[in-house]
Amino acid sequence: MSFSNIMDSNSYSPDHPVDPVTGSMIAARARMLGPAYRLFYDQPVNLVRGEGTRLYDIDGACFLDAYNNVACVGHCHPHVVEAASRQLATLNTHTRYLHRGIIDYSERLLATLPDKVDQVMYACTGSEVNDLALRVAAMHTGATGVVITRDAYHGNTATTTAISPSIGGATIAGPHVRIVAPPDSYRIPADELANRFTADVSAAIADLQSAGFGMSALIVDTIFSSDGIYPDPLVLAPAVAAVHRAGGMFIADEVQPGFARTGEAMWGFSRHGVLPDIVTMGKPMGNGLPIAAMAAQAGVLEAFANDIPYFNTFGGNPVTMAAAAAVLDVIEDDGLLDNAASVGGLLRAELTGMTEDHPRIGEVRGAGLYIGVEVVTESGAPDRTGAKSLVNAMRERRVLISVCGHDGSVLKIRPPLVFSRSDVDWFCTEFAAALASSF
């Protein structure tokens, strides 16, 4: 098998020598889980414990986690553990019975969203809610055409795989899908970003209309995670206006940027000054328990929800609602939005200062605690090999990051939101050493 896609840029290759314990676990996975599974790093990590921004492997070695957004309030946060464990021991059923958990959480969640985004449905994964969002948009618009970015990732169901070219391999965008370039702030002048993106989206809409699919939805991750992390604000507004003029829906995929990650707002779309018709969210929502949600304007949801009963066995159950409520508690009580802004700003500033004159680091960019570092060749081209070397050098120094972007050449730095100033120091010390050893 061979892939040349983003997902595999940081994958372990079977030809890489590892210690016997690691080797036997890799062999057991290959035998029982088959060839679709991937491990990170040339030397996969064998983790047994987590706490805050720290992860510990089987030998007791301590890693700094600068990658995992799912554990947004920190690994094994006691408030979340306690809330979920207590509910697990009390009751865990489904939404065909009444329960306060889903009602109370929905009040709180909807209060973080624009007033017009006033209804919410629950599922277990980002894939499920993006799949649902596409159906809701199609029912509302009577159209099926979808516009996505070049290296989008929106899920692993059949329907969301068709809008996720970043998966690579044999994955092919569906005939109803049009692909536009992301707002690549490294290669496109800032004052042209919005115009180019809008022009591309408008052309895609026209093409979908003339092909008979019609315009159903523009769906984007509002910080363009898999495309390479493009944080420039306000870029989306004119494109969304064009989508609305064509009768289409704007689906803000907040699975990665949502829940305070960007430091400037609870939701990534807010930074763009746009009002989504549908908002999807997942990964960090329950700090690791499987929970996801699709929020929508009631008028947009109506055609779908009136015609099709929807039941998700585990979606919105008391345990995941308790975990999700505890996550909101910590985000609010510990000021994690502000922390993402200030600590993320510090980390970007330190990395920028450290790499300003480095010929192989093209740019450090990001918002809050979502940071991309553009690794380039001496001639300025995307450097997949260099990025991979840096990621593995960081792993050897016990700091976990990964890569993203079309060429797998952008370092993806996306730590738990409780990342501290001393974590920044730790990260930067190791990054300086990794940089020195990699080029």
Q: Which of residues 289-328 bind its own copies (CB under 8 A)?
A: 289-291, 296, 298, 301-302, 304-314, 317, 319-320
Q: Could you give the CA distance from residue 424 to residue 403 in angstroms, rounded to a whole number?
A: 19
Identify the residue among 4, 16, 107, 429 touching its own copies (CB under 8 A): 107
Nearer to its own copies by Cβ, of 1 and 210: the residue is 1
Does 110 contact its own copies by CB under 8 A? yes
The number of residues in the chain equals 439
- The reply to whether 85 sits near its own copies by the rule CB under 8 A is yes
- How far from 18 is each of 14, 23, 31, 136, 248, CA to CA, in Å? 9, 6, 17, 47, 51
d(CA 16, CA 378): 27
- Tell me how far apart the alpha carbons of residues 200 and 218 are, in angstroms, rounded to a whole number: 12
If the CB atoms of residues 82 and 425 are measured against its own copies, the closer one turns out to be 82
For its own copies, which residue of 13, 15, 59, 98 counts as binding (CB under 8 A)? 98
- Binding flag, residue 20, its own copies (CB under 8 A): no
What is the closest distance, in whole angstroms, from the C-beta atom of residue 264 to its own copies in the complex?
A: 24
Comparing CB distances to its own copies, the nearer of 235 and 296 is: 296
Which residue, 109, 150, 154, 114, is CA-closest to 130? 154
The reply to whether 125 sits near its own copies by the rule CB under 8 A is yes
**435 is a site residue for its own copies (CB under 8 A):** no
DSSP letter at 399 equals E
Look at strands 62-65 and 177-180 and give their pairing. unpaired
Window of 154-162, 175-183, 199-207, 427-435 that interacts with its own copies by CB under 8 A: 154-162
Size of the site for its own copies (CB under 8 A): 106
From the list 128-136, 223-231, 338-346, 382-390, the region that binds its own copies by CB under 8 A is 128-136
CB 295 within 8 A of CB 105: no
Complex with its own copies: residue 51 or 334, whichever CB lies closer: 51
Residue 202 touches its own copies, criterion: CB under 8 A: no
Q: Is 124 in the site for its own copies (CB under 8 A)?
A: yes
- 400, HSE (Cβ side, Cα atoms, 13 Å): 27
Beta carbon of residue 80, minimum distance to its own copies (angstroms, whole number): 8
Work out whether 84 is an interface residue with its own copies (CB under 8 A).
yes
Contact string (CB under 8 A) for its own copies, positions 40-79, x = contact: x---xxxxxxx----x------------x-xx---xx-x-
Beta-carbon contacts of 324 under 8 Å, excluding residues fewer than 6 positions away, are: 105, 109, 285, 286, 289, 291
Q: How far apart are CA 184 and CA 224, in angstroms?
A: 9
* Minimum distance of its own copies from residue 11's CB (angstroms): 8
Residue 177 binds its own copies, judged by CB under 8 A: no
CB atoms < 10 A from the CB of 97, how many?
A: 8
End-to-end CA distance of the chain: 29
Nearer to its own copies, 5 or 352 (CB): 5
Min dist. Cβ of residue 394 to its own copies (A):
15
C-beta contacts of 141-144 below 8 A and 24+ residues apart: 141/214, 141/215, 141/216, 141/217, 141/247, 141/248, 141/249, 142/214, 143/208, 143/213, 143/214, 143/215, 143/216, 143/247, 143/248, 144/176, 144/213, 144/214, 144/216
196 binds its own copies (CB under 8 A): no
Q: Rank residues 84 and 147 by Cβ distance to its own copies and give the closer one.
A: 84
Q: Between residues 63 and 197, which has the closer beta carbon with respect to its own copies?
A: 63
Query: Which residues between 209 and 238 bind its own copies (CB under 8 A)?
Result: none
Angle between helical axes of 237-245 and 190-210 (0-180°, round to 10): 20
For its own copies, the binding residue among 158, 189, 356, 357 (CB under 8 A) is: 158
